Structure 1
Amino acid sequence: MRREWECVHYYYYYAEESRQNQALYRDINRAANDEYQAIQYYSALANMAPNNQMKQTVLGIRQDEIRHLNAFSRSYNRLTGGYPDLTITAPPKSFREGVRESLKDEGKTPAFYRGIAARTTDQVTKRRFLEAAEDEARHEQLFRQIANQLGIRE
């Protein structure tokens, strides 16, 4: 009877671990896809910028997103052997709307990335997500500065 219980316990333990890993992989895929969409969105947003300073700020943020996409894709491949599913997104309707949306998105992202970092045991992936969380918090501040210059209130 004890041996049978050990087998059942072993099965449930590893089934739960597998579910947790699948959720982690889904979140890493989502993070990579979010970065891919941000790259597209910020390309369009930069082209709408009212001045060169704001354009360069958005392009700098876009460069960070490219780096994050590459890092997250490598982590996803390292953990799953596959590649993330990436989809396109609609461009912003205006620069003001794009800044407003970006400010919201960049504000939520650090917590999401820290959550991924907390759940992975892979130290490379953990470091990548913690570094990206710091970048995203900085991006929020940069978009906040742009919003203030444009007189956008949250």
Structure 2
Amino acid sequence: MTAFLIGNFMLNGTVGVLLYLLITKKKKIFADRYGMVVAMCGSGVLSLHLAMLTVFLIPDYFIIQVLFALGIGAFIGKKFGSLMKYQSLLSGLFHGIIGGIMGMMLGIVILNPSLCGLPSASLNSLQDNMLIFTVFGTILVIMTGSLLYYSLKV
């Protein structure tokens, strides 16, 4: 399971880097409003999923999870937000950090459902839930990246 999570983390990181490079090459053709939308969508979804994967990979160290989720969110938000002027920088940074915090919370609830009053999960259902949410998050990141790429062509 750990090898699958690490591979998934690397796949999503690669999708994020490719999306950033594509948008950076074409940033002169779009306006500030579009840059802000790209910064919000790209940084929010990507940081949410990478932070959730971080919680799955490092389940026992809460402080490291928080710092890594905030670091991932801030880094992705700053990179996507630097595409345009100050408004998209702030919105990208904000949505990146919020996405990282939400991904961390989602991962913690998946690992321990009794935090939200849900029935406690056995080890098999815990791994099934981790697998389902990881695959769904990967599909979400790929779909968001492909929609942003398509919007550059239109």
Q: What TM-score range do you get, normalising by the shorter chain?
A: 0.3 to 0.5
Larger radius of gyration: 1
Q: TM-score, normalised by structure 2?
A: 0.41
Q: TM-score, normalised by structure 1?
A: 0.41
